[in-house]
Structure 1
Amino acid sequence: MALVSLGDMAQSFLLRSHNARLKGDLLRQSQELSTGRVQDVGHRVGGDFSQLAGLERSLARIDAFNLAAREATVLTEAMQSALGAISDQATSLAPDLMTAAQAGQPSHVDAIGAEARSRFETTLSRLNTRVGDRSLFAGTTTNAPAVADGATIMAALVTAIGAAGATTADDVAQAVSDWFDDPAGFETIGYLGSNQSLSPLTIGEGVRVSIGARADDKDLRGTLKALATAAVLDEGVLPGDTAARAALASRAGEDLLSAQGDWSALQARLGVAQERVASAQTRNTAEQFALQMARNDLLSIDPFETATELQTTQMQLETLYSITARLTRLSLTDYL
């Protein structure tokens, strides 16, 4: 019978080959056990990556939807906060205007005029609210203020009142209202934003939400007119006519109260948008969880089976080291 043996060099290469293979298996099994995912994805899917690619694409799409939904949440919450603060300013000012008008004292009317001017400027500041360095109420012109400052608008209103020859409270209130409605008035001098609202955000599969509230919204005009009507008292309109100035304060207070319905409609629209965003986020989360489970089922490993394989590989590697050590200690005398 022919005896087949391996030379020292061939035997060394063979041991090295076994050692490299076992070390590779040990590394792969260790990584799989620590990550819980198979390392050789191609072998697991049999070379067909279409299902895995579909899952990854869907998850990436969900991530984009969630990002848009988070942006919509931040914007709508900031808008609601700004509008709520403006509404509170207007609501609390209305009774003070009427009380000052009933008192009929020049000092009271002057004081409420100064207060109205302050609140009008605060309202303009709220309309210029920025989030993430983008203007909320300026439409698509997100890099600029939504409205001009109070001094600019007051100067334009005083000019309009003078040009109208206003001599009574009704005349002044009408001049202020006409300026806000005139395209060459508020829309040109006061409103600095775009006449186009922000494009609706896609926050889910087939779900879009519009958050296009602008400072020139018709539902805001009534409050802005009433605040401005009261604020011009601080500009000295109707000088020397205390009764007319008191009537103007009363008129502004009544207009503020009647404008509350418009505020409710505007805040309700934003509330509907917030509800749609919250619903979309819930659906996105559920779909994301289902997709992640499907991906895990496709790529996950059995930890008990992998741990057993890892232990077996360790034993084989230790055995190989023992054999290698024995072979390196062989001598001709031992062989003979």
Structure 2
Amino acid sequence: MTPSASLAQAILGPRDRTQPTRDRIETLSQEIASGRAADTGRALSSDFSQVSRLAHGLREGRASIESLSQAQTWGAAIQASLARVADVSARQMADLPVNLANPDPAAISRLSRGGEEGVRDIVAALGHTVGGRALFANGGTEPPITTVDDILTEVSALATAATDFDDYIQRVDAYFAPGGTFETAHLSVPATDPTRFPAGGGEVVTFEVEAGSDELVQALRSAATLSGLGGASFALTPDARLTLQERAANAAADLPTLQGRIGATEARVGDRLETLRAEEQQAEVDLSTAVGVDPFETVSALQNEMTRLETLYAITARRAQLRLTDYLR
């Protein structure tokens, strides 16, 4: 014989009607403690589109911030290399007046050694890398110039073959001209676009500089011209001395223009980073607000649930007096 439901209820006691309320209190307590909605669906009224947009925007913004942070590192490294090239030009500007005042063999030898050191320093500066990528080779894995000894040997041969200073200068200019020996035999810059750094919103940042840039070739040509003087058989006339000083001065004067262009790109990167970081903070606030809790509403709801629970306990206690199990314990 199956006992009736009323008899089973009398023996086992009334069904626990407090469980949903206790679950609700637990949820509200978590929300108060964390400041986040334990039930995101309830907090969003089951509309997750806003959260999806915010989360997607955060991911894209953070990726752009990472990209532009790398661009900052890239730009700073380029500026450091350009500063080293500028130091070479500054040394030449200081050495030329002293040694050309009395261009005897010892002075010419000092100029030649200084020019060779300058060529090596410039080539080394243009070979710098960041993360295994060459700064002045459009992000290639190989440095743009690896044949510095050959360059010095060939320029020295130009000086030896020249009949006078003007002939030497023409040979050097042809050597470093577009399509000349330096570009075709010694400049190994990949024929690709400069390294690109996504900046968000469809924007891209690039640093428009490579080892073949006019300013850098001019600085290298000026140093190489001095390096070849050690093997020359011609004398340096007053016009020749003036030409050497003018070419060195022009090379030194053009480098700040290139540094300024890189600096303008760096400033653009900094401004964009500042904007992206502000947008990231705002998106985080908006996302937190979307899935967060209103403390006043949550506390009010928690108090209501606690009152409800107390009422249910009071009812349960009154009904428990009629339960057979209370007397059998």
SS at match of 1:103: coil
SS at match of 2:59: helix
Q: Which residue of the partner structure matches residue 213 of structure 2?
A: 217
| Counterpart contact for 1:25–1:313, Cα < 8 Å | yes
Letter in 1 for 2:232: L
Letter in 2 for 1:280: R
- Which string of whole-angstrom CA distances, capped at 9 and with x for unpartnered residues, describes residues 202-233 of structure 1? 31325332213100011222111101101223
Q: Which residue of the partner structure matches residue 238 of structure 1?
A: 232
SS at match of 2:38: coil
Distance 1:207 1:155, change over 3 A: same
Tell me if 1:264 matches 2:261: no
Distance 1:266 1:5, change over 3 A: farther
Q: Which residue of the partner structure matches residue 147 of structure 1?
A: 145
Between 221-230 and 179-188, report the one with greater CA deviation: 179-188
Shift of the alpha carbon at 1:313? 8.1
Shift of the alpha carbon at 1:8? 9.0
Q: Which residue of the partner structure matches residue 287 of structure 2?
A: 295
Q: Which residue of the partner structure matches residue 43 of structure 2?
A: 44
Distance 1:4 1:211, change over 3 A: same
Q: Which residue of the partner structure matches residue 247 of structure 2?
A: 255
Q: Please, what is the CA RMSD of the aligned residues?
A: 3.5
SS at match of 2:168: helix
Shift of the alpha carbon at 1:126? 0.5
In 2, the alpha carbon distance for the partners of 1:253 and 1:30 equals: 80
Unmatched runs of 5 consecutive residues or more in structure 1:
none
SS at match of 2:244: helix
Letter in 2 for 1:115: G
Letter in 2 for 1:264: P
- Which string of whole-angstrom CA distances, capped at 9 and with x for unpartnered residues, describes residues 232-284 of structure 1? 23xx3214x5x339986764333111123321221121111111111111221
Identity %: 22
Q: Which residue of the partner structure matches residue 184 of structure 2?
A: 188
Question: How is 1:137-176 mapped onto 2 (pairs within 5 angstroms)?
Answer: 137-140=136-139, 142-161=140-159, 165-176=161-172
Letter in 1 for 2:113: A
| Counterpart contact for 1:94–1:254, Cα < 8 Å | no
Determine which structure has greater relative contact order: mean sequence separation of CA pairs < 8 Å that are 6+ residues apart, divided by chain length. Answer: 2
In 2, the alpha carbon distance for the partners of 1:101 and 1:42 equals: 83
Tell me if 1:72 matches 2:80: no
Q: Which residue of the partner structure matches residue 282 of structure 1?
A: 274
Between 208-217 and 31-40, report the one with greater CA deviation: 31-40
SS at match of 1:256: helix
Residue of structure 1 aligned with 2:174, choices 171, 174, 178:
178
SS at match of 1:209: strand
Letter in 1 for 2:154: A
Q: How does the TM-score come out when normalised to structure 1?
A: 0.80
Shift of the alpha carbon at 1:161? 4.7
Q: How does the TM-score come out when normalised to structure 2?
A: 0.81
Shift of the alpha carbon at 1:152? 2.3
Q: Which residue of the partner structure matches residue 53 of structure 2?
A: 54
- Count of residue pairs the alignment pairs up: 318
Letter in 2 for 1:228: A
In 1, the alpha carbon distance for the partners of 2:70 and 2:326 equals: 81
